Amino acid sequence: MLLAELVDVTATVAATRSRRQKTEALAGLLDRLGPDDVLPAIGLLIGSPRQGRLGVGWRGIATLQVPHADAASLTIADLDSALGGLAAASGPGSAGVREGLLREIAGRATTEEWGFITRAILGELRTGALQGVLLDAIAQDVHADAALVRRAAMLSGDLGETAALALAGADLTRVGLQVGRPVQPMLAASATSVAEAVAITGEASVEYKLDGARIQVHRHGDDVRVYTRSLADITHRVPEIVAAVRELPVHDVILDGETLSLGEDGTPRPFQDTMARFGADRARHIALRPWFFDVLHVDGRDLIDEPLRVRLRELERVAGAWRVPGIVTGDADAAQQLSAQALAAGHEGVVVKAIDAGYAAGRRGKAWIKVKPVLSYDLVVLACEWGSGRRRGWLSNLHLGARDPDGRYGEPGGFVMVGKTFKGLTDEVLRWQTTRFEQIETRRTAGTVFVAPITVVEIAIDGVQRSPRYPAGIALRFARVKGYRPDKSAAEADTIQTLQALRAAADVPDQSA
């Protein structure tokens, strides 16, 4: 298929807020794809090329001066091959190889196609064709039950593979858990108090909320694989976790949990320390400890449809020494006491989990609810202002955006600004973000560098308030940086609707931002 057809459909999808029209346009595209085009096309549609990191930044693209083609001739397969070459380039001379590939593909692409390609490479492609809409389009195209398609995608951990199976006429009911193939993790909603969370869940497993990095661990015999929340394989970086799981009394297992580093006194180190160690290619002096809070499979038995109380019994049997601390209770006072213990131990708070709920892979519902005394949200950096005084020469004041999936305040799937902050930034972080943001710069003014919206930062706030300054009519109150989240993608950032709901419930006095 010509790339131009995919570009035209993404433009159509981005131009409408109607989910039905998006679904119909995408279903029509899927119906025309050849078998070899499905995987690369799905990756492009969700703004995540299947090759992963390509080693190309904004500057590498912005400096290209190449005349584009007048007529469309580039195919999806051509682009997929070029992206594969970019991802494979490494070592001495790799920069020249990448530049050559970019020049070749830019010269073969039309102006519209090149704009699409650059956004895909830089992670800026926001078509409104997010996974939920694509799942509906797949179901519509093959006349399958949408819930079945969604479950297959969650269990396979790969939307492209699910699309390929569905379009080939495979039986999606046969897609299940497979040890060694990561699945999308279950996610938690938020509540402002433990009592509120328990009122929603009823009897629950109330567990420590750790300020660590999410991990999913698969073991088959002595073969152990460790994956991040984004399903990246980081086994080689965490030998201590691999060693711990090899000692468990089980042959096959899939575990869900977190890892964090502890200080000499046993208290958790700052999240930045964990992520610095988590992202290292070799083990460093900071050790990571695993904590598991769920088990999805044990020795040939899938557990995701079993109630949590059953999964916890199995977790205790196979990984008791590595379990996250918690209690099972329906008493809000007892849950609050555990929350106080977690906070006293240096953790973030608690997660309250309905004891009879199954494991909803890839979904965020009311079965799991996190409660933290300080409100924190994952936002995306849209721009950064140059500092003054002691911070002169560093990029300092962050422009923060919430995800706008419906395009209510701009482009569907884009971001809407909700505030600024320079609080909580250490000198080390200032140096890092100055280098980082100049690498992903899209444009600048005298005092501000605008960047590709791909960097997630966790922001602590006291609440939100009305503000005419920002498009969505709200602004963050007393925002400060908790830390950058390289383990999360911009598609996982909190939505503007989440912040607006917080404003509606908080009864914060009106004042200008």
Tell me, letter by letter, the H, E, C secondary structure of 47-109.
CCCCCCCCCCCHHHHHCCCCCCCCCCCCEHHHHHHHHHHHHHCCCCCHHHHHHHHHHHHHHHC
The DSSP line for 99-151 is: HHHHHHHHHHS-HHHHHHHHHHHHT----S--HHHHHHHHHHHHT--HHHHHH
Sequence ranges of the chain with CATH classification 3.30.470.30: 187-371
Specify the pairing of strand 364-371 against strand 187-191: parallel
> Hey, how many other C-beta atoms are within 10 angstroms of the C-beta on 154?
23
Sequence ranges of the chain with CATH classification 2.40.50.140: 375-506
10-residue averages of pLDDT along the chain (513 residues): 92 85 92 92 85 76 85 93 88 86 91 88 64 88 90 85 91 90 89 93 96 94 93 90 96 95 75 69 71 96 95 95 95 95 88 95 84 87 92 94 90 91 92 94 93 94 84 90 91 91 57 34
> Hey, how many other C-beta atoms are within 10 angstroms of the C-beta on 152?
26
Estimate the share of the chain in helix, then strand, then coil, as percent rounded to the nearest 5: 40, 25, 35
CA distance 502 to 464: 7
Tokens for 464, please give them. 């939100």
Q: What is the CA angle 129-134-138, rounded to 5?
A: 155
The DSSP line for 454-494 is: --EEEEEESEEEE-TTSTTSEEEES-EEEEE-TTS-GGGSP
Residues 328 and 276 sit within 8 Å (Cβ to Cβ): no
DSSP character at residue 509: P
CA distance 162 to 151: 10
Sequence ranges of the chain with CATH classification 1.10.3260.10: 3-172
Q: What are phi and psi of 79, to 5 degrees?
A: -65, -40
Tokens for 49, please give them. 């090329």
User: Would you call 372 a catalytic residue per the annotation?
Assistant: no
Tokens for 61, please give them. 């693209």
DSSP character at residue 241: H
Tokens for 96, please give them. 């020249």
Q: 291 by DSSP, 3-state: which?
A: strand
What lies within 8 Å, CB to CB, of 359 at 6+ separation is 186, 256, 294, 296, 303, 304, 305, 308, 311
**N-terminal to C-terminal alpha carbon distance within the chain:** 50
Encoded amino acid at 262, one letter? L
Where helices occur in 168-292 by DSSP H, the ranges are: 194-201, 239-246, 271-278
Residue closest to 292 by CA, chosen among 257, 317, 241: 257
pLDDT value at residue 484: 94
Q: What is the CA angle 325-327-329, rounded to 5?
A: 160
Tokens for 46, please give them. 């969700």
Which H/E stretch holds residue 10? helix 3-15
Tokens for 385, please give them. 């202002």
Residues 243 and 375 sit within 8 Å (Cβ to Cβ): no
CA distance 269 to 310: 32
> Measured between alpha carbons, how far is residue 398 from residues 49, 284, 303, 417, 484 in Å?
28, 31, 43, 11, 12
Cβ-in-10-Å burial (0-12, 13-18, 19+) of 79 comes to buried
Q: What are phi and psi of 379, to 5 degrees?
A: -120, 170
CA distance 335 to 347: 15
What fold is seen in the domain 375-506? OB fold (Dihydrolipoamide Acetyltransferase, E2P) (2.40.50)
Residue closest to 290 by CA, chosen among 254, 324, 341: 324
CATH of the domain spanning 3-172 = 1.10.3260.10
Marked catalytic residue, from 209, 353, 420, 482: 209
Rg (the chain; Cα; Å) = 23
Residue closest to 367 by CA, chosen among 186, 490, 212: 186
CATH architecture of 187-371: 2-Layer Sandwich (3.30)
Strands (E), 303-413: 326-329, 349-354, 364-371, 375-386, 395-404
Residues 398 and 481 sit within 8 Å (Cβ to Cβ): yes
Where helices occur in 345-492 by DSSP H, the ranges are: 427-439
